[in-house]
């Protein structure tokens, strides 16, 4: 059984000159989680923010920080992001030599552990991880930039991961990130997703539009 759909606006598309105010605005507009994309210019071709920024943003909302770590090596930085205020730490299997050990480390820090699957990473990667993770993030674009076009093959992967989650009997979040808007969101949900990351689709139009944008992603617009 899928859980209620959660909307996680990606602050990558927010106005970086006023991030605290932007987070407060999407909180009021009905966001369930705050999605934080961390990029290192090495694992992905872009550089964003680090633990000090997350720590600075933490007082602006009580909503969970859904932190997507696109950095390599990953293990040396887990504690810093946990201490900065992350609630979920999502990592890529390719970002370190031992993904199972990385997941164990995240759990030992008292945080929820997520695993992200790039467009070229098969669902089968989860075969021996599904009993340990709290979230699976299916990337429907190649990571590194916001505003990209949705990759259609992600829908088959969402369906495959949904079957794995249901078979496990555990309440694991199935999240999708990349090109999610009012048109692709219902297709992701129909395939089995129950959490949607949306940057451009959430933040377009400015703060007065955020509530309507989030409602549209839920299919309520």
For 158-185, give the DSSP string.
Answer: HHHHHHHHHHHTS--EEEEESS--TTTH
Taking all residues of the chain, what is their mean pLDDT, rounded to a whole number?
95
Q: Where are the alpha helices (DSSP H) in 41-153?
A: 51-57, 78-84, 99-108
Average pLDDT over every residue of 71-80: 97
pLDDT for the residue 2? 55
pLDDT category of residue 220 using cuts at 50, 70 and 90:
confident
179 marked ligand binding residue: yes
Q: Is the whole model's pTM more than 0.75, yes or no?
A: yes
Residue with tokens 């139009």: 205
pLDDT band with cut points at 50, 70 and 90 for residue 3? confident
Q: Is 68 annotated as a binding residue?
A: yes
Of the residues 66, 173, 177, 194, only one is catalytic, namely 177
Taking only the tens place, the pLDDT of each residue in 55-72 is: 999 999 999 999 999 999
Q: Which of 37, 40, 134, 194 is catalytic?
A: 37
177 marked among binding-site residues: yes
Please say if 177 is a catalytic residue.
Answer: yes
- Per-residue pLDDT tens for 30-47? 999 999 999 999 999 899
40 is in an annotated binding site: no
**Would you call 173 a catalytic residue per the annotation?**
no
Domains of the chain: 6-217 (3.20.20.70)
Q: Is 147 within any annotated ligand binding site?
A: yes
83 pLDDT band, cuts 50/70/90, is very high
């Amino acid at each position: 059984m899928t859980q209620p759909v959660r909307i996680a606006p990606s602050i990558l598309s927010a106005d970086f000159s006023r991030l605290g105010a932007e987070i407060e605005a999407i909180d009021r507009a009905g966001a369930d989680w705050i999605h934080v994309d961390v990029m290192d210019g090495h694992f992905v071709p872009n550089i964003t923010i680090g633990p000090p920024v997350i720590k600075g943003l933490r007082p602006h909302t009580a909503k969970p920080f859904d932190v997507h770590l696109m950095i390599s090596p990953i293990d040396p930085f887990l504690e810093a992001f946990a201490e900065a205020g992350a609630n979920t730490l999502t990592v890529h299997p390719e970002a370190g030599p031992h993904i199972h050990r990385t997941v164990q480390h995240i759990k030992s820090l008292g945080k929820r552990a997520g695993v992200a699957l790039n467009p070229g990473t098969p669902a089968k990667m989860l075969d021996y991880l599904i009993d340990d993770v709290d979230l699976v993030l299916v990337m429907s674009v190649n990571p590194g930039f916001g505003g990209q076009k949705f990759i259609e093959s992600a829908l088959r992967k969402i369906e495959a991961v949904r079957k794995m989650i249901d078979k496990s009997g555990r309440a694991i979040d199935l999240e999708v990130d990349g090109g999610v808007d009012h048109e692709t969101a219902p297709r992701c949900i129909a395939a089995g997703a129950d959490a949607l990351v949306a940057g451009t689709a959430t933040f377009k139009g400015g703060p007065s539009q955020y509530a309507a944008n989030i409602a549209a992603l839920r299919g309520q617009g």
